[in-house]
Amino acid sequence: AFVTLEALPLTPNGKLDRKALPAPELDQDTGDAVFVAPQTPIQELVAASWKEVLGLTQLGIHDNFFARGGHSLLATQLVSRLRKTFGIELPLRSIFETPTVAELAQQIEQALASGAERALPPLVPIARRPGMELPLSFAQQRLWFLNQLTPNSAFYNITLAVRLTGALDIAALRQSFNTMVERHEALRTSFSLSDRRPVQTIHAQLTLDVPLIDLSATPAAEREAHALQLATEDARRPFDLSQAPLMRITLLRLQPDEHLVVLTMHHIITDAWSFRVLMRELAALYTAAINGEPRSLPALPIQYADFASWQRQCLQGQLLESYAAVWQQRLAGPLPVLELPTDRTRSELQTFHGALESRTLSPELTQQLHSLSQRTGCTLFMTLLAAFNVLLHFYTGQRDVIVGSDVANRNRAETEGLIGFFVNQLVLRTSLDNNPSFQELLRRVRDVALEAYAYQDLPFDKLVELLNPERSLKYAPLFQVKLVLQNVPEQQYELPGLTMTSMEVDRGTSQLDLNLRIMQARDELLLSAEYSTDLFDAATIAHLLELYETLLGAVVAQPELKLEQLVAIVAEADQRYRQAQAQAAQDAGLNKLRSIKRKAAR
């Protein structure tokens, strides 16, 4: 692809400023390029990795990774496979800058010829004995300390409710869950203090109870609400980290052929990716159990404790210093606190009370967002983040904006099939100075995100320790809002005689002012905003999501618009909303007055 420039951007020294070059707009038909088969052994190996990650059977060397369905999470998995194949550390940015097999193979050839940086030590099982005290990962350690501050809270619970429709074999279901407990050490792990440091202990054997609560006799009109109430109560019940398992499973019978499985786990042993692993393995194990077949799952190459030990071994010395230097530069100077207008005065101490508000983006808008991302060489997340930054600027007037996000941190193939707490938090700081067009803002966000991905291995707790920001009990450190895109579409698993459909349970908590999670569901995007109820009313967050949708519609229609032009579009929509609210309040007041007069006249 080509971009015509009036002049080349230069550095202060008169050299070409490559970072200032605009990203070329990709041809939307790149995914249908003329097929050219791999020509060299390296191209063959690269193409094989691409096909595995993208789930393709045919791939030409000029096909574009992102046009064929790739995104940043899949790019991370691709880098992991190329590392294993070629034994070199390939930066994630390489996939964005050389997004075809031919280009990437050429870069790998050059890296091999020049003796490029070799990969980190392999991730292998560590020697252990039953009951041995093992170190925590950095993320686990941070969560353990936070849990000590609020030991009787459910802030770090994660709950998923799964509806099972059809004839359920309860014995096979219980057997399947216990097989997973046997298979994944994280599900048999407890945490305690030893010699003034937290340690994890893996229990050799553990049986998980799966109680059945029969609600089928409850009146039909009340049954669903009762089940949801029980799920919510379970989500809000705390765990004792010193007692394994840190997972509860409850089976609710709604009708003879309809059940609800409520899974609640402490975040210290799981994350969103882990739930997908759990559901996938449950489907395989349940199918094998009811068919009387042996287990069909391959052996796990490592366990979570192996990763924790490897992480502590690798992230030290020069490597840790190099990561720290990049983040210190990106987050230099005073870190802005995002001052969203609130419905109530912020208290001196966060209570973490929260609620959920949701909205669905239409298939048409979802497709337009994908198309804009592809044309500009960005991922969908980058486009959503750029628009979110504009929205936050509208609300606050701030031009130095920090948004948090999650990264799966599964950048080694050995970790992809594990249940465990791998997710890391990224701090994404974007400048909105000089009234950029949305296209320019996309380039800025792309640069910020790619650099963050490249240095994602620095644990968030290490970053907080390194930056040592001014602490306040009013705010979370480093960022107050978060945007997370779950790239993997919500799946509906088919079991013999059963259909599984997952649903979200409101925990009633929020660790941030606002955490906007976006999930791809078939051809739509689902927005789920977890927000602090100490600060915001539900109507305020619902309106924020409405304005976000308005803004997304504007940027896909006219990505050349400047920041302040986009703000004006949002402001106009906001003004219409407030006028309608004022009119509704006035009408309600008049109706109340008329009612009083009618009563007085009787």
- Whether 21-113 shares its CATH topology with 325-342+364-493+507-582 is answered no
CATH superfamily label, 21-113 = ACP-like (1.10.1200.10)
Report the half-sphere exposure of 566 (CA within 13 A, side-chain side). Answer: 34
Which pLDDT score is estimated for 599?
Answer: 75
The full set of domain ranges for the chain reads 21-113, 133-304, 325-342+364-493+507-582
Whole-number pLDDT of residue 179: 96
Q: What is the mean pLDDT for each group of 10 consecutive residues in the chain (602 residues)?
A: 50 50 46 78 93 92 92 91 88 92 92 72 87 94 92 91 95 97 98 95 95 96 95 96 98 97 98 93 94 90 97 91 94 95 94 95 97 94 98 98 96 94 97 98 97 93 91 91 82 79 86 96 93 98 98 98 98 95 77 74 70
Helix (H, G, I), strand (E, B) or coil at 476: coil
Rg for the chain, CA atoms, rounded: 26
The predicted pLDDT at position 116 comes to 61
As separate numbers, helices (DSSP H) first and strands (DSSP E) second, the chain gives 16, 15
- Nearest-angstrom CA–CA distance, 514 and 479: 10
User: What would the CATH number be for the domain defined by 133-304?
Assistant: 3.30.559.10
Per the listing, tokens 């395989």 go with: 284
| The CATH number, out of the four listed (3.40.50.720, 3.30.413.10, 3.40.50.150, 3.30.559.30), of the domain defined by the range 325-342+364-493+507-582 | 3.30.559.30
According to the model, what pLDDT value does residue 13 have? 47
pLDDT for 20 = 53
Three-state SS for 16?
strand
Residue-wise pLDDT for 41-69, tens only, equals 899 999 999 999 999 999 999 999 999 98
In whole angstroms, what is the distance from residue 189 CA to residue 403 CA?
A: 33
Which pTM was predicted? Answer: 0.87
Q: Is 77 helix (H, G, I), strand (E, B) or coil?
A: helix
